[in-house]
Amino acid sequence: MEQTFIEILRRALDEELARDVSVHLLGEDVAAGGAFGVTKGLAQKHGEKRVRNTPISEAAITGLATGAALCGLRPVLEVMFIDFATLAMDCLVNQTAKYRYMSGGQLTVPLVVRTQSGAAGGAAAQHSQSLEAWFAHVPGLVVVAPATPAEAYGLLKSAIRLGEPVLYIEHKRLYTMRGTLDDAAELPAIGKARIARGGSDLTLIAYSAMVGTALAAAGQLAALGISAEVIDLRTLLPLDMETIATSVRKTHRALIAHEAVQNGGFGAEIAARIGSELFDELDAPVWRVGCPFAPIPFAPELEAALLPDAAAIVQGVQEMLGTPAQLGR
Amino acid sequence: MARVAVEIPKIGLVMEAVRVTRWLKNVGDAIRQGEPLLEVETEKSVVEIEAAVSGRLEEILTAVGAEARVGDRIAWMEAEQAPAAVAPPARSPTRAPVASPRPTGGSASVGNRIVSTPAARRLAAERGVDLRRVSGTGPGGRVQLADLANETASASAPSSTAFAAPEMTPMQRALARSMTLSNATVPQFTLERSVDGSAVQAARTAYAAANAAAPAPSMNDFLLYSLGRALTEMPAMNAIYVDQGGGGIACARGTHIGLVVAVAGGLLVPVLHDVEQLSLTELAARRRDCVERTLQGKLRSDELGGATLSLSNLGAQGPDRFAAMINPPESAILAVGRQRDCVVPRAGGLAIRPMSELTLTVDHRVANGRLAAEFLARLVQILESGDWRV
């Protein structure tokens, strides 16, 4: 049965609530469904004790969820926009991420922070950012960013069962994407990328909504006679360098695409690691495609102009290969 | 017309110096590009050096018997056409495509540096290709992997210094360097095991009876064949240690085995490639051809590398057993003692069997004792099994 990204997330949460009584949902308005309706109906089904509304204070509720996790629950906290996670930064970075280390492993924080990022529909500069690189910089956190409804289902369940603090980043542009679940599929391992499309001439590395964009670009490149392999990272931290290395050893070229601002984005980390670990394999400079160094504008036309699309990736490939004339023909 | 220097090209990966053995052209001779100009003895074989341009040999600077380093000027030629100067690539801020191919097929360079990708440089080094002679088709004339597709080893590249040890031949020096490297940098351990040669002996006798004309596969052929199978079955042994990026293991594609061959003035280790794909008879033919050309100094440069393991057999007059030193960057070497009749227990009684002692030396970074022991046991099992693809 085909379902939307939101419906599939709801199903994953519903099943985890039913499977494990320690799983609780927390967040602003989650009992009523949350800002995007992901948790709709779950309070009625599992009770308002397990699907709890919280005050509008990301700092407080992240502390609450961290404390609950320390005491044995498996909370899933919804932070409505990743832009608001800035308010939860102190707790997430200084407390949540540090407990296991500073207690010598005596304490664990099995917490999933579901949040939502990216630009779509004129949400403007304070509700459209892609801030994953900040969190991928913190030892002690796990950062997951699914690209399809089916991936989102498995990765959310794996994240809840992982037993570590996970920042689970949904992209608002994916919420209406439809997909079908394979009930026989095993849950994906956290920290393992997948090959979304096989290819031999270059490797496109992407995550979250940019995987779909990269797949569209790969289709356009195929028409130009260039076979692109697309890697869906699924997890940014820990990074599955092995899958990247295997692919780049085959293609000798890599382009990293993300919606986040290119400057200081997570693509820089991947590019640096490819540069140092796979130097002798490279037949072209490692390339990055990301947002220009600017806030996301409100006007839909400007927003569209800023966001990297498939054409931007194709152009990036052309610049990387230095042969736009040949490709354009 | 233009005066062009003839320089000693870099032929092998580790080659630093050569000795001029013969000039094939005299001063005044007309020469076409690609024609052999002189013969030099490298550390590994005697090779011909070809003329890089067409023209006339004007002056010989290095006499027969004299030594020259890579990059040294050894002669002057009067070229028919001046070699086209290679201009630095034009780079526009928009990274425009390369407008036209370079007329002479040279690569782009910035100062003395050839603009090339890391992967292309690695492949060129592996194949002994001079990047200056390759047309770069990448941005700004950058040499890329695809540009090397049809290139084979040739021509010159500058080099560093050789050591000053005039009494040693280049081959002796190469050997000294390689063995010093082995002893100083490879943590190696040895394991021993005896092998019953009855099955091999019986197979050789049967082969000789059935094929009067063709020589029967030798003990070495059986050893190479069995090593090929054991390495293919145990890929963890078919690997070398790579000392970069904090160290790592590189697994071989295919099974390539070196064979230590004593030659006048030293030894050479030609490599038999893709051994696992050959039957015993095919392997024997390949080995005979390879050894013959090794003794004649006619090995191709691509026949001297790529092995993960070598075989050293000192023959019927050799010692009962010996341990050999690993030939870097390989990770193992099998030393085979002479075969002799020994009394061995068999089926509750005593039997006299042709026994040989095998000594396997292994790079401990690639394999531990258990893996090496399993490998050696499997090798003995194959050699004693009589189950071979003839």
Q: B143: nearest CA in chain A?
A: A283
Between these two residues, A81 and B213, which has the higher pLDDT value?
A81
Q: Assess contact for B389 and B275: CB atoms under 8 A.
A: no
Which residues belong to CATH 3.40.50.920 in chain A? 194-328
Confidence of residue B107 (pLDDT cuts 50, 70, 90): low
Q: What's the rounded Cα separation, in Å, for the pair A274 and B272?
A: 34
Q: Is the pLDDT at A30 greater than 80, yes or no?
A: yes
Give the pLDDT mean for A76-101. Answer: 97
A297-301, B121-125, B158-162: range with lowest mean pLDDT: B158-162
Residue A293, classified by CB atoms within 10 Å of its CB into exposed (0-12), middle (13-18) or buried (19+), is exposed
pLDDT tens digits for range B4-57: 888 887 665 456 778 888 888 888 888 888 888 888 887 667 778 888 888 889
B121 and B194 within one domain: no
Which residues belong to CATH 3.40.50.970 in chain A? 2-180
R_g over Cα of chain A: 20
What are the chain B neighbours of A321 within 8 Å (beta carbons)?
A: 138-139
pLDDT given at position B124: 86
Question: Looking at chain B from residue 256 to 295, which residues have their Cβ under 8 Å from any Cβ of chain A?
Answer: none
Candidates A283, A315, A318, A327: best to mutate against B (most CBs of B within 10 A) is A283
Q: Is the pLDDT at A322 greater than 60, yes or no?
A: yes
A171-180, B211-220, B304-313: range with lowest mean pLDDT: B211-220
Report the sign of the C-alpha dihedral through residues B317, B323, B327, B331, in that order.
positive
Omega before residue A308 within 30° of 0, cis: no
- What's the fold here for domain A2-180? Rossmann fold (3.40.50)
pLDDT tens digits for range A181-238: 998 899 999 999 999 999 999 999 999 999 999 999 999 999 999 999 999 999 999 9
Candidates A280, A286, A317, A318: best to mutate against B (most CBs of B within 10 A) is A280
Work out the minimum CA distance from A274 to partner chain B, whole angstroms.
12
A275-289, B10-24, B60-74, B221-235: range with lowest mean pLDDT: B10-24
Question: What's the N-to-C CA distance of chain B in angstroms?
Answer: 60
Are B97 and A325 an interchain contact pair (Cβ–Cβ within 8 Å)? yes
Measured in degrees and rounded to the nearest 5, phi and psi for residue A10 equal: -60, -40
pLDDT given at position A326: 44
pLDDT given at position B165: 43
Residue B14 lies inside a defined structural domain of this protein? yes
Q: Is the pLDDT at B88 greater than 50, yes or no?
A: no
Highest mean pLDDT among A202-206, B39-43, B100-104, B264-268: A202-206
Give the pLDDT mean for B94-122. Answer: 60
Q: Is the pLDDT at B86 greater than 60, yes or no?
A: no
Q: What's the rounded Cα separation, in Å, for the pair A260 and A146?
A: 15
Residue type, A273: R
pLDDT given at position B47: 78
Give the pLDDT mean for B74-87. Answer: 66
Q: Assess contact for A157 and A187: CB atoms under 8 A.
A: yes
Give the pLDDT mean for B246-270. Answer: 89
B54 and B144 within one domain: no
R_g over Cα of chain B: 25
B80-89, B209-218, B319-328: range with lowest mean pLDDT: B80-89
Q: In terms of Cα–Cα distance, which of A12, A33, A27 is closest to A57?
A: A27
Share the mean pLDDT of chain A: 95
Give the pLDDT mean for B183-201. Answer: 93
Residue A135 C-alpha from the chain's centroid: 11
CATH code (residue B69): 2.40.50.100
pLDDT given at position B48: 80
Residue B96 lies inside a defined structural domain of this protein? no
Are B120 and A319 an interchain contact pair (Cβ–Cβ within 8 Å)? no
Q: B138: nearest CA in chain A?
A: A322
B342 and B235 within one domain: yes
Are B97 and A282 an interchain contact pair (Cβ–Cβ within 8 Å)? no
Nearest Cβ partner of A324 from B97, B120, B122? B97
Measured in degrees and rounded to the nearest 5, phi and psi for residue B63 equal: -80, 165
B363 and B239 within one domain: yes
Candidates B95, B143, B147, B244: best to mutate against A (most CBs of A within 10 A) is B95
B79-88, B133-142, B219-228, B366-375: range with lowest mean pLDDT: B79-88
B140 and B28 within one domain: no
B380 and B235 within one domain: yes
Are B97 and A277 an interchain contact pair (Cβ–Cβ within 8 Å)? no
Q: Is the pLDDT at B309 greater than 90, yes or no?
A: yes
**CB burial string B282-298: b at 16+ within 10 A, e below:** bbbbbbeebbeebeebe
Question: What's the N-to-C CA distance of chain A in angstroms?
Answer: 42
Rounded to two decimals, the pTM is 0.55
Are A323 and B122 an interchain contact pair (Cβ–Cβ within 8 Å)? no
Question: Looking at chain B from residue 235 to 254, which residues have their Cβ under 8 Å from any Cβ of chain A?
Answer: 245
User: What are the residues facing B248 on neighbouring strands?
Assistant: B242
pLDDT given at position B85: 39
pLDDT tens digits for range B136-156: 888 888 888 888 877 765 444
Collapsing DSSP to helix, strand or coil, A308 comes out as: coil
Count of CB pairs separated by less than 8 Å, A with B: 41
Does the annotation mark A258 as catalytic?
no
Q: Assess contact for A10 and A42: CB atoms under 8 A.
A: yes
Residue B155 lies inside a defined structural domain of this protein? no
Does the annotation mark A269 as catalytic?
no
Which member of A16, A58, A78, A132 is catalytic? A58
pLDDT given at position B152: 62
pLDDT above 70: percentage of residues in chain B? 85
Alpha carbon distances (Å) from B355 to B197, B199, B316? 6, 11, 12
Q: Would strands A178-180 and A2-4 be described as parallel, antiparallel, or unpaired? A: antiparallel
Give the pLDDT mean for B176-185. Answer: 86
Residue B237 lies inside a defined structural domain of this protein? yes
Q: A250: nearest CA in chain B?
A: B119
Nearest Cβ partner of B144 from A277, A280, A283? A283
For domain A194-328, is the CATH number 1.20.140.10? no
B268 and B119 within one domain: no
pLDDT tens digits for range B162-172: 444 456 777 88
Share the mean pLDDT of chain B: 83
pLDDT given at position B11: 65
The domain boundary residue, chosen from B148, B170, B196? B148
Are A283 and B95 an interchain contact pair (Cβ–Cβ within 8 Å)? no
B143 and B187 within one domain: no
For the CA atoms of B200, B202, B208, B209, the dihedral, rounded to the nearest 10 degrees, stands at: -160
Interface of A with B (CB under 8 A): 252, 276-277, 279-284, 319, 321-326
Nearest Cβ partner of B118 from A279, A323, A326? A279
B115 and B70 within one domain: no
pLDDT above 70: percentage of residues in chain A? 98
What are the chain A neighbours of B119 within 8 Å (beta carbons)?
A: 252, 280-283
CATH code (residue B279): 3.30.559.10
B283 and B218 within one domain: yes
Model ipTM over 0.95: no
Question: Looking at chain B from residue 91 to 130, which residues have their Cβ under 8 Å from any Cβ of chain A?
Answer: 95-98, 117-122
Are A326 and B97 an interchain contact pair (Cβ–Cβ within 8 Å)? yes
A243-247, B30-34, B103-107, B301-305: range with lowest mean pLDDT: B103-107
B281 and B225 within one domain: yes
B134 and B74 within one domain: no
Residue B154 lies inside a defined structural domain of this protein? no
Residue B100 lies inside a defined structural domain of this protein? no
Q: A319: nearest CA in chain B?
A: B95
Q: Is the pLDDT at A28 greater than 50, yes or no?
A: yes
Are A282 and B95 an interchain contact pair (Cβ–Cβ within 8 Å)? no
Domain that holds residue B52: 2-79
Residue B62 lies inside a defined structural domain of this protein? yes
Q: B122: nearest CA in chain A?
A: A280
Are B97 and A280 an interchain contact pair (Cβ–Cβ within 8 Å)? no
Confidence of residue B235 (pLDDT cuts 50, 70, 90): very high
Are A282 and B118 an interchain contact pair (Cβ–Cβ within 8 Å)? yes
Residue B355 lies inside a defined structural domain of this protein? yes
